[in-house]
Copies of this chain bind each other. A is one copy, B any other.
């Protein structure tokens, strides 16, 4: 039976970059051509999965930022695309950005460790697209993309890992060193600036050429499993050698989150990671083991503002977040 990595692997993500033959790359493309690309992609996807199409120019900015907070679109699509659009399926596992850096960026994002499943799901969509659209492909190089780093498979595989024990035991540093040497990139969950906030690490392939899609996925999957097993060992060791310190970190996070009146988003992410660690180590018991991930998704700034309705200042946002988190955590806790 496969081991349970659900308290370690947050999500799996597969992305494919495609460009159209005989159409200038998006950076060099005029608006009219961009609109034609959108129509082509829209028409290529048949209705079986009920995709919605959102043209960025017509989309309220708040809605766009909510999509970004859900990792469905990139910041670049919002800010730097003249004729950007996105197609999103019903359950929001698949999004197809149009006219971002490449004409087409297909993505499948799912919870837990399921790279192969995500790839198969995305591959179906990709086959439809490649069948109906004339995609730039070179017999020797493979798929051609705007940026040379994506040429070949156009595949980017990334896994979001929650690694509190490897972080606290400082073993993470040598792991990151090894991954980097082996052509993998490691980033924080919320971009570079925030480091590894919330004990979250996003691991992805740097190279996209030289192996098949299936080989890339197999390789990354096996590396992720190794890291997960190391995290499991580190968690046991942490509880054996530093239980009181860990309980202290978790207790303080719970204390602040259930008693503060103003909660900035970055602090929330940090403390949420500490509570998640408490749940993973069975030091805090919750009715729903994924309550923290749900809170993180619900209380990202723009998602929160939509939920709250009448939030206009930073202080109001922080106040709503504080009240919401306190209420949910208190009612979810099993004493």
Contacts and interface: CB of A to CB of B under 8 A. Distances in A.
Interface of A: 244-245, 247-248, 251-252, 254-262, 315, 319, 322
A144 B303 CA distance: 74
A251 B247 CA distance: 20
Nearest to A261: B248
A318 to B, nearest CB: 9
Contacts of A256: 252, 255-256
Contacts of A247: 261
A260 B261 CA distance: 19
Contact of A261 (B244, B258, B259, B261): B244
Nearest to A247: B261
A254 B258 CA distance: 10
Q: Considering the complex of A and B, which 7 residue pairs feature the smallest CB-CB distances, nearest first? A: A255-B259, A255-B255, A248-B261, A251-B259, A248-B262, A247-B261, A255-B256
19 contacts: A244-B315, A244-B319, A245-B261, A248-B260, A248-B261, A248-B322, A251-B259, A251-B260, A251-B261, A252-B259, A252-B260, A254-B255, A254-B259, A255-B255, A255-B257, A255-B258, A255-B260, A256-B256, A258-B259
A39 to B, nearest CB: 50
A52 to B, nearest CB: 39
Contacts of A257: 255
Contacts of A255: 252, 254-260
A325 B255 CA distance: 14
Contacts of A254: 255, 259
Nearest to A283: B261
A257 B259 CA distance: 11
Contacts of A261: 244-245, 247-248, 251
A327 to B, nearest CB: 14
Contacts of A259: 251-252, 254-255, 258
Given A251-B259, A255-B255, A255-B260, 19 more contacts: A244-B261, A244-B262, A244-B319, A247-B261, A248-B260, A248-B261, A248-B262, A251-B260, A251-B261, A252-B255, A252-B259, A252-B260, A254-B259, A255-B256, A255-B257, A255-B258, A255-B259, A256-B256, A258-B259
A164 to B, nearest CB: 16
Nearest to A254: B259
Contacts of A322: 248
A86 to B, nearest CB: 38
A122 B260 CA distance: 46
A251 B326 CA distance: 11
A256 to B, nearest CB: 5
A244 B251 CA distance: 23
A9 B188 CA distance: 49
A247 B326 CA distance: 14
Nearest to A316: B244
